[in-house]
Amino acid sequence: MYDNEAYAEIVNYTALTGTPVLSTPFPLREITNRFLSLDIPEMDGPLSLLLQPVYSEINPRNGSELIAHVMAVVSWKTLFENVSELSLITCGY
């Protein structure tokens, strides 16, 4: 159903199992566990961790280096709109 590239990227960066999916040592397991241990309404359910590369120049070209990432933590409740409605329909309500 979600066969687009964007969704594949989300899945790749999602730490549902706590298993780091990147070769660099991002502390995904710790971040995920810390979030899931909190009682925050916006965060009911799985999380996605998305990484945006930061290059040494705004317009990457020859000589521009990858120097950092910006990591965004997103609740699936925010990301996947109306999924609950779909669930109700599949149950025949």
Residue closest to 48 by CA, chosen among 78, 81, 21, 13: 13
The answer to whether 43 contacts another protein (rule: CB under 8 A) is yes
Backbone angles phi, psi at 44, to 5 degrees: -80, 100
Backbone φ/ψ region at 63: left (φ over 0), alpha (ψ -120 to 50), beta = left
The answer to whether 85 contacts another protein (rule: CB under 8 A) is yes
- Report the residue number, 17 or 44, with the smaller CB distance to another protein: 44
Alpha carbon separation from 3 to 7, 12, 16, 69, 88 (Å, rounded): 7, 13, 19, 25, 23
List the one residue from 11, 16, 18, 53 that touches another protein (CB under 8 A). 53
Give how many residues touch another protein by CB under 8 A.
Answer: 50
The contact mask relative to another protein for 19-38 (x = CB under 8 A, - = no) is -----xxxx--xx--xx--x
- Give yes or no for a contact between 13 and 49, defined as CB atoms under 8 angstroms apart: yes
Binding site for another protein (CB under 8 A): 1-2, 4, 6-7, 10, 24-27, 30-31, 34-35, 38, 40, 42-43, 47, 50-58, 66-75, 78-83, 85-86, 89-92
